[in-house]
Amino acid sequence: MDAPFDLAVVVDDDPDIALAARLALRDLFKEIRTLSSPQELPDLLKRQSPDAILLDLNFERSATDGSEGLDYLARIMAGDPDAAVVIITAHSAVSVAVEAIKRGASDFVAKPWSNERLTATVRSAAALRRSKIDARLERGRSSELGHSNGTTLLGESAAMERVRALIERAAPTDANVLILGENGTGKEIVAREIHRKSPRGELPMISIDLGATSESLFESELFGHVKGAFTGAGAERIGRIKAADGSTLFLDEIGNLPLHLQPKLLTALELREVVPVGSNRPVSIDVRVVAATNLSADRLTDESRFRQDLLFRLNTIEIHLPPLRARRDDIPLLLRHYLDMYERKYDRPERMVPAEVMEALVGHDWPGNVRALRHAAERAVIMADGAVYRTEDFPLPTGPEAPTLSLESGSLNLDQLERQMIERALRMHHFNISLAAGELGLSRGALYRRMEKHGL
């Protein structure tokens, strides 16, 4: 499946540093460009708008004052005030990096870095840039599942009407909302709709994917830290909760929050204040929390996994998003929406979907839900070469029920074996990507890529 962001640009004259950054960030970005000189930046920025820019401050031999990097930082911010620029610096030049932050940089990383810290820092910067841009878009624009005519979510089923009704009732309030649903059902889109329709909608919604955050970084990401709180904490940093002050905080995959951190989150929400790591001074907050999880109700009410007092705090209003197999009548509408979208994107002709093909698509269970349907539509638009779409244009099982290969069958086809193991892990963990990836010994990004490879 796709990386969450499109493009990162690394500007550093040390090829080893550029390569290390590329390898560390490859699961975050579809494309990573490396430049050896900032002089190449202006031309690139005329053609593309990176989600994140990693910028070294010193390029001339023996330079240590960072003046060249600061000059290019100013040019970047003048051309794009929302640019997410992460400064690369040596430990001895942290003061220069702090000056860069004052001039608009999102954050900095010191060499040599921890890959976890680099990934978390760049992810935060890119996500904040996206939130800022989203907040300025016209209120009437359609979202991935939306219309511009006032309908917020595509689908005419009774289940989706109930979801819309709950959004309309919940959005104008400050009540915390918990969104339940399988992976790919559109939980983040519902969260953005709730935020957009709320009194806080003028500010960007701040998101954190707890399923993609290293456990060692949870506390710092949520609550922030003070300078010197731990090795590598060269400057004070506000956490996501404080960054959402006055706005909405979206906690995606809340079920992945470690049990030992749940009391601290509960205390922060109850007292409306956070205590950064390494500090004993509370900082006041005013946030509305929208959380989401793919955990089933049974697992969510298991006290050994999730504190029930925190659950009660989060689920003042609970919205259940149905899986796509429970609203099959919506599949033709969703499919046509995505086919139209990708036909325009790839400049392909509009093709019809014959009745027998639509019947096969509607009959499929879509384990990956709407996200899987979207990817199937994109693949079909790219692969189709006839006058109409054919069943084989879509990545559907070739047998009646997605036949799986038995490990005892004697087959040595590695692709078939890999697909079977991925399917088994996904079903074992009810399509929880984080847990399935752990079972397989893969990162979430690596599992997504293999799922895309096998059409899962």
Q: For residue 65, is pLDDT > 80?
A: no
Ramachandran assignment for 200, one of left (phi > 0), alpha (psi -120 to 50 degrees), beta (any other)? alpha
Least confident segment among 267-276, 295-304, 333-342: 295-304
- C-alpha to C-alpha distances, 235 to 60, 88, 109, 222, 230, nearest whole angstrom: 26, 14, 10, 16, 10
Q: Is the Cα dihedral 247, 252, 255, 259 positive or negative?
A: negative
The structure tokens listed for 418 are 């890999």
Side-chain half-sphere of 10: how many Cα atoms within 13 Å? 25
Q: Name the pLDDT band for 149 (thresholds 50, 70, 90).
A: very low
Kindly report, residue by residue over 25-55, the tens digit of the pLDDT. Answer: 988 898 999 999 888 988 888 888 899 999 9
The structure tokens listed for 370 are 């709407």
- The per-residue DSSP string of 341-404 comes to HHHHHTT----B--HHHHHHHHHS--TTHHHHHHHHHHHHHHH--SSB--GGGS---SSTT---
325-393 CATH? 1.10.8.60
Q: For residue 148, is pLDDT > 60?
A: no
Kindly report, residue by residue over 251-290, the tens digit of the pLDDT. Answer: 998 988 888 889 989 999 999 998 888 888 888 899 999 9
Dist CA 394 CA 328 (whole Å) = 17
Kindly report, residue by residue over 188-246, the tens digit of the pLDDT. Answer: 899 999 999 999 988 888 888 887 777 667 788 888 887 777 766 666 777 888 888 89
pLDDT at 64 (0 to 100): 66
**Domain ranges (residues) in the chain:** 5-135, 158-322, 325-393, 407-453
pLDDT at 445 (0 to 100): 65
pLDDT at 209 (0 to 100): 84
Identical fold for domains 325-393 and 407-453, yes or no, is no
Percent of the chain with pLDDT over 90: 35
Quickly name the fold that domain 158-322 has: Rossmann fold (3.40.50)
- CATH 1.10.10 corresponds to the domain 407-453: yes
Top CATH class of 5-135 equals alpha beta
Q: Name the pLDDT band for 444 (thresholds 50, 70, 90).
A: low
